[in-house]
Structure 1
Amino acid sequence: MKVRDIIKLIEQDGWYHVRTTGSHRHFYHPTKTGTVTIPGQLGKDIPEGTKNSVLKQAKLK
């Protein structure tokens, strides 16, 4: 799965991009607590462990 695919998933759940620090994109949600940070370049594959961590941060898993 590519980084851009993960971003599409969390944006469909209501998360929105607030800032970028280097290659890390940070997302907030209007009702869920916390920040979701997605590392990496858009076209690159995201490692399985990182993907699972991002989905847990977004409360999608």
Structure 2
Amino acid sequence: MSGTRFSPNRENPRDLSGEALVKALSRSWGYHVVHQEGSHIVLETAEPSHQRIVVPAHRQLRIGTLSTILRLVARHKGVERDAILRSFE
């Protein structure tokens, strides 16, 4: 994602929006938007098994929220969190 700043040790980006996260997860990790309820976007994937996650559609995600979403996706896909972060570059 252009405009998103990363530190060399792959900390969570500090300026990632919910919509940018949704686009990255859709493009690189097989998630698709199921629907949106207010300011929350519901994503779903079937690989390797069914999973739904909710991403707040905020201009800037809180670090704890982003960290939790990244941990859930990484665990479900069987990859390290850093692999998820690299896909945002």
Q: Which bracket does the TM-score occupy, shorter chain normalised?
A: 0.7 to 0.9
Secondary structure class of the residue paired with 2:23 = helix
Flag the structure with larger Rg. 2
More strand by share: 1
Matched with 2:50 is 33
More helix by share: 2
Structure having greater relative contact order (Cα 8 Å, sep ≥ 6): 1
Identity of aligned residues (%): 17
TM normalised by structure 1 equals 0.78
TM normalised by structure 2 equals 0.57
After superposition, the C-alpha distances for 1:2-45 in whole angstroms (9 at most, x for unaligned) are 2122112211211000011111110111223321100133xx11
Gaps of 5+ in 2: 1-15, 82-89
Gaps of 5+ in 1: none
Number of paired residues?
Answer: 59
